[in-house]
Amino acid sequence: MYQENITALKKDAPIGVFDSGIGGLTVAREIMRQIPNEKIIYFGDTARTPYGSKAVSTVRKYTEQITDFLVSKDVKMLVIACNTISSTCLDMLRERFPQLPVIGIIQPAAQKVASICSEENSIGVIATKVTINSGAYQKAIKDLVPQCNVAAKAAPAFVPLIEEGIIDNEIMDLTIHYYMDDFIGDGKIDTLVLGCTHYPLIRKNIERLFPKLRIVDPSREIIGRVKKVLAERDELAGRDNDRENIFYASDLSENFTNMIEKILETERSNLILKFKNLEL
Ligand code: DGL
């Protein structure tokens, strides 16, 4: 009886999901759509975003603070809803929390690419500077499809524009042209990986400007991995899980509130939003 209760508690424990800001909400949104029994504790480091052009040592330090906080909330899994953190901190986190499954976003995306691409395809990855400089995407894809072409491009200005909500706007379209015209060229790239969890928020702009591109969205691909690992550990939440999703931010600004409503397509009154200062 006691053991059964412990197992049920574990199954219904929340999943810790985190990002430098609002980008990881694209992953949270997919968890809520695809595995709705699961409950989330989200952390967005909105006070210190963006991470993608910072020193790796800084990204590591911030990541330790975030994950220590989430683990103190008894999460059953850590989901890195950020490519910048996945590309630089995955091994560190697995060592730091050997008792917990830690799910990175790059490997599931590379597996998706491998399932749809052959040597005839030209794959482009856009991401932050830190992610591109780490070479993590290029390596993960090449390991699975060695003969294909992989080009990588840092597109750092997308993140602050998206955090500001500048999306359905000609400034965003110009920025997309600025980064992508030469990169995509005349058929130079046929498959584009959105290697930053903020970028699905501008997917429609990219599709409108480059309608022939095939797009891979890692924020969707990671959910299959989350589901598989929870199932293997017999930790999928039950239908009667009565916990609630909680969203923490290190700066609970109006921007964050507006963007979370927009991304999760709900009103603030339906959301539990909390402030958490990690620097104390
Ligand atoms: N959303 C993040 C990623 O996937 C990071 C963006 C940033 O903070 O620069 O890389």
Residue 62 has what pLDDT? 98
Residue 96 has what pLDDT? 98
Residue 242 has what pLDDT? 86
* Cα 54 to ligand 1 centre (Å): 11
Residue 280 has what pLDDT? 56
Residue 2 has what pLDDT? 57
Ligand 1, residues at Cβ distance < 6 Å: 19-21, 23, 49-52, 82-84, 128, 131, 159, 196-198
E runs forming strands in the chain:
15-19, 40-44, 77-80, 102-103, 122-127, 149-154, 191-194, 214-216, 246-249, 272-275
For the chain, which residues score pLDDT lower than 70?
Answer: 1-8, 280
Residue 166 has what pLDDT? 95
Q: Atom of ligand 1 at shortest distance to CA of 156? A: 9
Residue 208 has what pLDDT? 97
Residue 200 has what pLDDT? 97
Q: Can you tell me the distance from the alpha carbon of 268 to that of 280, in angstroms, rounded to the nearest whole number?
A: 27
- Whether residue 202 contacts residue 171, with contact meaning beta carbons closer than 8 Å, is answered with no
* Cα 195 to ligand 1 centre (Å): 9
Residue 3 has what pLDDT? 61
* Cα 164 to ligand 1 centre (Å): 14
**Residues acting as catalytic residues:** 82, 196
* Cα 239 to ligand 1 centre (Å): 32
Q: Can you tell me the distance from the alpha carbon of 232 to that of 234, in angstroms, rounded to the nearest whole number?
A: 5
- Whether residue 126 contacts residue 155, with contact meaning beta carbons closer than 8 Å, is answered with yes
Residue 241 has what pLDDT? 87
Residue of 17, 18, 20 best suited for mutating to test ligand 1, as the one with most atoms within 8 Å of CB:
20
Q: Atom of ligand 1 at shortest distance to CA of 82? A: 4
Q: Can you tell me the distance from the alpha carbon of 100 to that of 14, in angstroms, rounded to the nearest whole number?
A: 12
- Phi and psi at 148, nearest 5°, equal -85, 160
The two three-digit tokens of residue 239, written as one number: 């239908």
Q: Can you tell me the distance from the alpha carbon of 175 to that of 171, in angstroms, rounded to the nearest whole number?
A: 6
Residue 256 has what pLDDT? 92
Q: Can you tell me the distance from the alpha carbon of 157 to that of 142, in angstroms, rounded to the nearest whole number?
A: 27
- Whether residue 218 contacts residue 126, with contact meaning beta carbons closer than 8 Å, is answered with no
Residue of 196, 201, 216, 221 best suited for mutating to test ligand 1, as the one with most atoms within 8 Å of CB:
196
